[in-house]
Amino acid sequence: MLKLAFFNTWEGQADGYREWLQKAYVDYDVFGLSEVNSHPQPTPCDHVAFPNQYEILQSQYNATHRGSFATSASSAQGIDYGLALFHRYDCPVYNIQSEVIHGQAGAYWVRPRMITSCNQIQSAWIDLGQQWLLFAHMHCLWRKSGKHDCVERDAQSARILNHLERRLYEVNTHGKTIQIVLGGDFNMIRRLRSFEAIRGSELFGKNGATVLNDGVENGLDTRTELYDAGKETRQADFVLVSESLQERVSLQIIRDAQSDHALQEVHIVT
């Protein structure tokens, strides 16, 4: 059994997150995190609640997991923001890469961080013996106007597929099957054309990807009780898998995670 996780940490700002993360990820073979902050100093400034989150994760999980940080953007205070991928030392994970899927040079947030807008995908190969698994997680474009289709999301979907397709040509499989697992914070709702552009891709199989959330009760609701109850939709996070993998994979949505996003836990029978 391979245990995977996808989680938006909400920058570690939830009360109790520091204590919760000490055991939160210990059982996962591979986990992908978004909205992770990194800084070499323990308290560089007071602009974010948890500015050195990645360094603390590294120290807590160093005995069992190897970490890889992908910088998506940096603040005026020198704090890096991005994705983090961790895997067990005994899990054969190779060639971790990342790529920008949406970016606006010079487009700053109003808040004091002054962070440049940038969204990213991070991926890695997992050798399962008789097959290869391409694990990919991402943090996609957020817009204040809402989760709607727009040219930026269309372009982002194309870049996501380009990243996956490029990676599929990197491995000599010697005839072994390749499966894809793609998850994370899509910042989309299920019905968008930008979502369907990804789901419908033949990279996942003749009929496109299987959306694991569709098979889970309330699976489109990926929020926790910390999420603003007044917002119109609770959809954000998804897990898509290759069509040929659907009989051996299951999804659990963990809503007691310390974030406004639920943790998505994926089990694959190997």
Helix boundaries (H) for 218-266: none
Name the pLDDT band for 172 (thresholds 50, 70, 90).
confident
- What mean pLDDT comes out for the span 140-153? 89
Instruction: Say what the pLDDT of residue 111 is.
Output: 47
pLDDT at 3 over 50: yes
Residues 139, 119 contacting (CB under 8 angstroms): yes
**Element spanning 61, H or E:** helix 53-61
The bridge status of strand 30-38 relative to strand 80-88 is antiparallel
**Structural domains present in the chain:** 2-268 (3.60.10.10)
- Segment (H or E) for 195: helix 193-199
User: What average pLDDT does range 240-257 have in this prediction?
Assistant: 96
pLDDT in tens, 189-243: 999 999 999 999 999 999 999 999 999 999 999 999 999 988 879 999 999 999 9
Give the per-residue pLDDT at 185. Answer: 97
Residues with Cβ within 8 Å of residue 75, at least 6 apart in sequence: 47, 81, 113, 114, 115
CA distance 103 to 7: 21
Q: Per-residue pLDDT for 41 more than 80?
A: no
CA angle in degrees (0–180, nearest 5) for 203-210-34: 85
- Could you tell me which residues are beta bridge partners of residue 239? 183
**Is the pLDDT at 104 greater than 70, yes or no?**
no
Q: Give percent above pLDDT 70 in the chain.
A: 91
Whether residue 161 has pLDDT greater than 80: yes
